[in-house]
Amino acid sequence: MTRLIGIFVFDDVELLDLAGPYEVFTCASRASAGRNPGTEPPFKVVTIGQTTSARRARAGLSLLPDASFANHAAVDVLIVPGGVVTAELGKPEVIEWIAKTAERSALNASVCTGAFLLAQAGLLTGKRATTHWEDMDDLRAMFPHVHVEPQRRWVRDGNTVTSGGISAGIDMSLHLVESLVDRDLALRTARQMEYLWTENP
């Protein structure tokens, strides 16, 4: 079974927030092919923008979404990266899309300030969550119904997983590989990436 991983792309997205999970899931599929030749890949990754027009990451890199809100396939895992999310928080159509997509997905995840978008969509109400250390106080102030946990690389509460900033999204994504497939594939993926996986959040 191939699971579709949908990663939200928007202007001022933090590049590694997006690229870290993208690399983990695509690398996991390559590692799976090496382990079990001829089998279907465990993951397919698609980037999704409000439209398919080019977006510019926070660091300036141009990004071209694979699909738009209007035409993407149903995703099994929704990942909302962070960055400068102020503009996205003010777009009802973005928040509505996150909420509706999350209703149909098996897992929903955020990296860094992507937690603000999940919270705005109502996905973190009454749940434990984390974000970048620099944004903890703002998350608590804006969303008092979220139980913000400091000093955690990632936090899982049911089918929702949030991670700290930037590189922490890689640790979270490796956890998702372990959860969705198995530990061996997560370890093989981390080794292929030459990444020291922080397994304990």
Average pLDDT rounded to a whole number, residues 135-162 = 97
Active site includes 112?
yes
Question: pLDDT digits over 9-41, tens only?
Answer: 999 999 999 999 999 999 999 999 988 888 999
CA distance 163 to 172: 6
* pTM exceeds 0.75: yes
Write the pLDDT tens digit of every residue in 47-91. 999 999 999 999 899 999 999 999 999 999 999 999 999 999 999
| Cβ neighbours, 10 Å, residue 158 | 9
Which pLDDT value is given to residue 9?
Answer: 98
Cα(71)–Cα(68) distance, integer angstroms:
5
Check whether 200 has a pLDDT greater than 80: no
Which one of the listed residues 45, 112, 170, 177 is annotated catalytic?
Answer: 112
Q: Look at residue 62 in the predicted model and tell me its pLDDT.
A: 97
